[in-house]
Amino acid sequence: MNNSRLTIAQYVDGLASGDRIVLSKAITLAESNLPNDQILAGQLIEQIMPRTGNSIRIGITGVPGVGKSTFIEAFGNTLSDDGKKIAVLTIDPSSQLTKGSILGDKTRMQSLSKNPNVYIRPTASGNILGGIANRTREAMLLCEAAGFDVIIVETVGVGQSEVSVRNMVDFFLLLMLAGAGDELQGIKKGIMEMADAIVITKADGDNIQHATKAQADFQHALHLFPARSSGWSPVVSTSSSIENKGIAEVWKLIKKFQTKTSESGFFEQQRSEQNVQWFKEYFQQLLVLDFQRNEFLQNAMAKLSVSVREKLTSPYSAAQQLLAEYHKLIRES
């Protein structure tokens, strides 16, 4: 693995020239769990920071079956027609086990993947408990440094990954199906509260009436929520990806959001708060990394694991002992 690594300067130069092979390698580096790779990735991110932040960052979520891929295809092609360069980062929460879905991701977003203005990259959802955090934020920054104007982060619409994606994007878009019933869609109040816009998908053919009804229902439901600190009132619209209807309108809406919240100062303020959040998360990653890199502590952990496995020590007491070892080591260093 390591011999495919570039130098920091090579990564920085490659990104600056928009080299997609270098971009892909840089994201792979950021996603690596090897301690040395993580250090290199940290230095790389630090170096490219001045070249980041110039895109609009859009999170898109919705339950499986809502038509995320086809929506993103149509949306991405619309952005491309508007002269934008688009990076699509897809997060698969179950990929940590098998690195791929049973259906295969290859067939998804076929036309978009052929568009020269578009870069598509699946990213692992990560598992902080195993010391591996989600690196989507890093991937996003690397895409910005490579010159992309719009970053789309796609995530499956149930659960924890939405919260972490919401915390790294400017605009959060929720896709919903008409008439599928709230329960089937599994959309919780919490996810609706995070959305800057809701788009009812598949508003075509016999489904138009249902979609218009759902639009009114959701708009009504959103009125029951308290006003946003952004000053932005979330909008509900309908779209048809196959008929390419309502797609350009979503892009217009997002541009309006950007203008409005930039004027009010919210746009920058939200990014600042997201950076603070990132600092805290990154610190926790460093704590874990610090530990992983230490051979003595790794040995102590392995010995305590044997002891726990043989029921000589409880998990709780073993953890306390390991913490004591860690403190002792730092004191003696």
Least gap, CB of 129 to a copy of itself (angstroms) = 5
Least gap, CB of 53 to a copy of itself (angstroms) = 10
Which of 30, 48, 53 lies closest to 124, judged by CA?
Answer: 30
212 versus 285: smaller Cβ distance to a copy of itself: 285
Pairwise CA distance, residues 261 & 252, whole Å: 14
Pairwise CA distance, residues 305 & 167, whole Å: 35
Scanning the structure block, which residue is given the tokens 């600092």? 279
Q: Which two tokens stand for residue 307?
A: 């002891």
Least gap, CB of 163 to a copy of itself (angstroms) = 7
Other CB atoms within 10 A of residue 26 CB: 29
Least gap, CB of 71 to a copy of itself (angstroms) = 14
* Contacts (Cβ under 8 Å, ≥6 apart) of 208: 238
Q: What is the CA radius of gyration of the chain?
A: 22
17 versus 317: smaller Cβ distance to a copy of itself: 317
| Structural contact between residues 201 and 241, judged by C-beta atoms closer than 8 angstroms | yes
17 versus 272: smaller Cβ distance to a copy of itself: 272
Least gap, CB of 221 to a copy of itself (angstroms) = 8
Least gap, CB of 37 to a copy of itself (angstroms) = 15
Least gap, CB of 109 to a copy of itself (angstroms) = 14
99 versus 255: smaller Cβ distance to a copy of itself: 99
56 versus 63: smaller Cβ distance to a copy of itself: 63
Pairwise CA distance, residues 181 & 202, whole Å: 15
53 versus 231: smaller Cβ distance to a copy of itself: 53
Least gap, CB of 20 to a copy of itself (angstroms) = 24
Residue 330, H or E segment: helix 315-332
17 versus 264: smaller Cβ distance to a copy of itself: 264
251 versus 266: smaller Cβ distance to a copy of itself: 266
Residue-wise DSSP of 219-281: HHHHHTSPPPTT-PPPEEEE-BTTTTBSHHHHHHHHHHHHHHHHHHTHHHHHHHHHHHHHHHH
Pairwise CA distance, residues 228 & 107, whole Å: 38
Q: Which two tokens stand for residue 139?
A: 């991937």
Which conformational region is residue 138 in: left (phi greater than 0), alpha (psi within -120 to 50 degrees), or beta? alpha
